[in-house]
Amino acid sequence: MTVDSERATRKDTAGRVITDWRPEDPAYWEQKGQRVATRNLVISIPALLLAFSVWVMFSAVSISLPRIGFDFTTDQLFWLVALPSLSGATLRIFYSFVIPIFGGRRWTALSTASLLLPTLWLGFAVQNPATPFWVFVCIAILCGFGGANFSSSMSNISFFYPKQRQGMALGLNAGLGNVGVSVSQLVIPLVITVGVFGALGGKPQPLVDGSGQMFLQNAGFIWVPAIAIAAVAAWFGMNDLTSARSSFSEQAVIFRRKHNWLMCWLYIGTFGSYIGFSAGFPMLVKSQFPDVNPMTYAFIGPLLGALMRSVGGSMADRWGGARLTFWVFALMIAAVFGVLQFLPNHGVGGSFPGFLVSFMALFVLSGIGNGTTFRMIPVIFRTLHERRSAGADAEGKKAAAHQASIESAAVVGFSGAIGAYGGFFIPKSYGSSITLTGGPDMALYGFIAFYITCLAVTWWWYYRRGAETPC
């Protein structure tokens, strides 16, 4: 490399837009690429953590609304818990394709800044007990911005890392980002008890039972400073990669890929379970074990699941994603049977310690599965394109590898979108099951049936001897 070209490369990697990006080149990666990729990952993780925190705000806010005078039914409260996942999953479909069109730096900054809308609005809305239910519905829908950020964030990070490091990088980004669920459920119950912002935060709301007061507005306001800092950091510290640019039509080819839809199905079972269990757990505990304070335990499961995601990605790098994913679903079936065993029967009997242990197992397993399924995606699409370009020349194989990376990133984002619908269906299934039968058992048996289909898909297409695309 000449002195002039080295200076050009240094200038390129230091700028906001990088035109020369070669993560698969060992020398380039060692000299320039790893440093740039690490910087983008370090900024991406806290931005995604905040996004998840905002996404699940209502899991911690809903149970407090009746305490300060909001006369909402149990079903309405479950709706507020479920709606952010519904809107987030739908928005993820669009967010899946934006990085190659707009660039990772610009989109991360703007999408992070959008989280100010629901947090500020919630902070003002809860201060007036006359605020109608439809306003909270609108805020809950806007919280979906946080869930949508996941797809664009994962797609963006996938472009920065070589294929042998993608499992680790995506696991860290998603795993530590998922910690935002636990952070939200841990922080909100603490900050609503004190006037964090003094007179600037508004007056407290008296509890309807006369036992004290609450600053529920802090559930929204507490995130505002961190969101502003993260958005500025993304704008000035991250990069756009021209090599990641592609049109929607180039990415839309994934809709004709069978394995895109198969991985969407599996990701509903892993991430959909994780976010659905996280959102619905506090209200489920409140309805089945009225004497237990759900917020004492709510943050533990999401934290375990988030931390295990990066572990799952690393394990999949070593032992294979399909093998681990198969056993994750097998054990999740057993864990749901455990939950059913310890539930009370129409308010009689039950064991909360047994219920809690079984549910923690579900969080751990779904977290591992989040990492293993995401590791499967780039392996599957790289394998497919390597087969198709087996007889091609060096240029053809290079083009095939590039197309594989484009499709993998799109599938990572799109499967994340479809998987997030689990965050709507699980809490809503609880509410519907309780309304129809008096308990959540019907919903849980439905989950078991679904996990059996995931087990079959994993075994047939990816795990068995002679599978179409072993990974």
Q: State the pLDDT at residue 4.
A: 44
Per-residue pLDDT band at 131 (split at 50, 70, 90): very high
pTM confidence score:
0.77
Report residue 375's pLDDT band, with 50, 70 and 90 as the boundaries: confident
Tell me the per-residue pLDDT of 239-289, one tens digit each, with 9 for 90 and over: 888 876 666 676 677 888 899 999 999 999 998 999 899 888 888 998 899
pLDDT above 60: residue 55: yes
Q: Is the pLDDT of residue 101 over 60?
A: yes
Q: Residue 18 — φ and ψ, nearest 5°?
A: -105, 120
Q: What is the pLDDT of residues 196-219, one digit of tens each?
A: 888 888 899 998 888 889 999 999
Whether pLDDT at 470 is above 50 = yes
